[in-house]
A and B are shown apart, each in its own frame.
Chain A
Amino acid sequence: MNIQDYNQAVDQFSDGLYRFALKSINDSDQSRDFVQDAFEKLWVKLETVENAKSYLFTTVYHAIVDHSRKEQRNRTYASQVEQNSSHELQSFDLHEILSRGLSELSEIQRNVVLLRDYEGYSYQEIGEITDLSEQQVKVYIFRARKFLKEYIGTIEALI
């Protein structure tokens, strides 16, 4: 890669990376940092990286995983609050319900679905990013969709 490729990668992938991180951890400042750090790392390894997109998403994914592990300890209270508020939905908004459903997924399910739906990655590519086998990716996607379908159905029924 050269500088032009790098700058092109900024234009092409920074939005997608940011969305992926933001939807995954729901923290805009942290997501920005992840994106910036990923590009920092890409810059350092400019000459050795062949597939910038894959490298960037892998880097952000690992940052998300690390972040989630650190945050896990503090999550109990926050998740309780989130759960309580999820029953306070007054209007039907599929996008909103889906976002809430997404946050209820396990971290790995959420990430594979986001990589699939946002970026259209193949199972193999998702597997490479997340260190999972293709079959595992399929299973996680299937379980995530099944959960989301049931989640949407439940909320719709409540409303």
Chain B
Amino acid sequence: MMITKENIEAYLLDFLEGNLSQFEIKELMDFIALHPEYNNDLELESVPIDVSIQFPDKASLKKGFSVKPKVFKSLNENETALFIVAKIENELNEKEELHFNRALQADKNFEVQFIAFTKTIIPVDISLIFEYKEQLKRTASLAPIFNFRRVISYAAAASVVLFAGYLFFKSSPRGTEDKKTAHKKAFKKDKKTPSIAPTESKESYQFAEELILLKPSLNIVLDSTKNVQKKVIPSLTELMAQEIETINNVKNENEDVALVSPIEVNPIQEMIENLEQEETLTVKSFFIQKVNKVLYGMKDPNEDEKYASVSQRVSSATGISFDLKRRKNEEFHLKIGKFSIDRKKSN
């Protein structure tokens, strides 16, 4: 574009703002050489910034607690509150602190307001302490902790087990029924759900009992190692009734029965459903490993470790003395508070 007298001002402005190319600058200089009356315009400079000029009340524009002390006298109620809260929150700078202290001495109402605000600081109630610290702590081999309410429910379940156990020992003497007939009866009943051959196994019974204590919503799955069949028992009462019936009526030490707890229902059910693919792992060993891991955080805890872990947790969660042991003579010994059950090895 040619520079003319009509567009020279636009070129001069672009020149001052540094928007012209080298070529355009040369063109502009050539034009001014021909028209010297525009020479003065080239000397125009942008207006220098006067740094000495500042907005007088910048602080008042800011949000938050910063209130400029100079304008204190004119603070309205809300600004006064801001100023005091800023003091309480340790947000005042040195100058503001100074001004604050002067205001405090000079203005009675300000002092009253300040005292009122100091009452809003929430004191730490040191009487409130978390009493279950020891439960939360871990050692390398310690299992995940239990939810407080869950543990309380375990205790409740333990009471049910105790009561049921009491009734069992009191009213159902073992071995009174003909064993052969009982076994036939049980097997006949289980024909509806084929492949189940529940038997008493002291180890698995004790294991199941322990699981019941820990998991009141327990669904027991009875299965043989080869032929998998789920049998979900919906309630603890029914579970106990069936367990007692099983133990009273069925005795076959040679059968391998796994009593397992679906602590994590889905993975375990899924595992049952896909069990055919798990050729190398028996159902029982799988579940025992799984339960050991979930309950104790240990791959293969010994019996003492298991029972100690259960006892310690239930005791500390409920505040009731809880002692679960299996002694060397294979007695099963459970003590809750004043109550205890001793079960001797059946021959």
> Which residues of A are in contact with B by a Cβ distance under 8 Å?
3, 6-7, 10-11, 14-15, 17-19, 22-23, 29, 32-33, 35-37, 39-40, 43, 94-95, 98, 101-102, 113-114, 116-118, 135, 138-139, 141-142, 144-146, 148-149, 152-153
10 A–B pairs (Cβ distance < 8 Å), ordered by A:
A14-B132, A15-B130, A19-B125, A33-B147, A36-B147, A116-B89, A135-B63, A145-B85, A148-B119, A149-B117
B10 contacts A by Cβ under 8 Å: no
Q: Does B116 touch A at the CB level, under 8 Å?
A: yes
Q: Is A102 a contact of B81 with CB atoms below 8 Å?
A: no
Determine whether the beta carbon of B148 is less than 8 Å from that of A36: yes
Query: In the complex the two chains form, what is the Cα distance from A10 to B119 in whole Å?
Result: 31
Contacts of B8 in A (CB 8 A): none
For B146, the chain A residues whose CB sits under 8 A away are: 36
By the criterion CB–CB under 8 Å, are A14 and B65 in contact? Answer: no
Q: Is B136 an interface residue (CB 8 A)?
A: yes
Scoring B residues 114 to 142 as 1 if CB is less than 8 Å from chain A, else 0, what string do you get?
00110111111100111011011111100
Give Cα A119–Cα B122 distance, bound, in whole angstroms: 11
CB pair B138 A142 closer than 8 Å = no
| Cβ-closest chain A residue relative to B140 | A3
Interface size class of B (residues with CB under 8 A): 20 to 34
Which label, helix, strand, loop or mixed, suits the secondary structure of the B interface? loop
Chain B residues at the A interface, C-beta cutoff of 8 Å: 63-65, 81-82, 85, 88-89, 116-117, 119-125, 128-130, 132-133, 135-140, 144-149
From A151, which residue of chain B is reached at the shortest CB distance?
B120
Cβ distance A22 to chain B, nearest Cβ, rounded Å:
6
Chain B's nearest CB lies how many Å from the CB of A19?
A: 5
The 9 closest A-B pairs by CB, nearest first: A148-B120, A18-B130, A117-B122, A14-B130, A32-B148, A145-B120, A10-B136, A7-B137, A19-B128
Question: What is the distance, in angstroms, from A112's C-beta to the closest C-beta of chain B?
Answer: 11
Select one of B65, B82, B124, B148 contacting A117, CB under 8 A: B124
Q: Which residue of B lies closest to A135 (CB)?
A: B63
On whether the beta carbons of B138 and A6 are closer than 8 Å, the reply is yes
The answer to whether B122 touches A113, judged by C-beta atoms less than 8 angstroms apart, is: yes
**Which A residues touch B137, using CB under 8 A?**
6-7, 10
> With A22-B128, A36-B136 as given contacts, are A141 and B148 in contact (CB-CB < 8 Å)?
no
Decide if A141 touches B124 in the complex (CB within 8 Å): no
User: Which residue of the partner chain A has the closest CB to B64?
Assistant: A138
Q: How far is the CB of B155 from chain A (nearest CB, A)?
A: 14
User: Contact between A18 and B129 (Cβ–Cβ < 8 Å)?
Assistant: yes
Select from chain B the residue with minimum beta-carbon distance to A37.
B147
B residues less than 8 Å from A113 (CB atoms): 122
Hey, which chain A residues are within 8 Å of B125, CB to CB? 19, 23
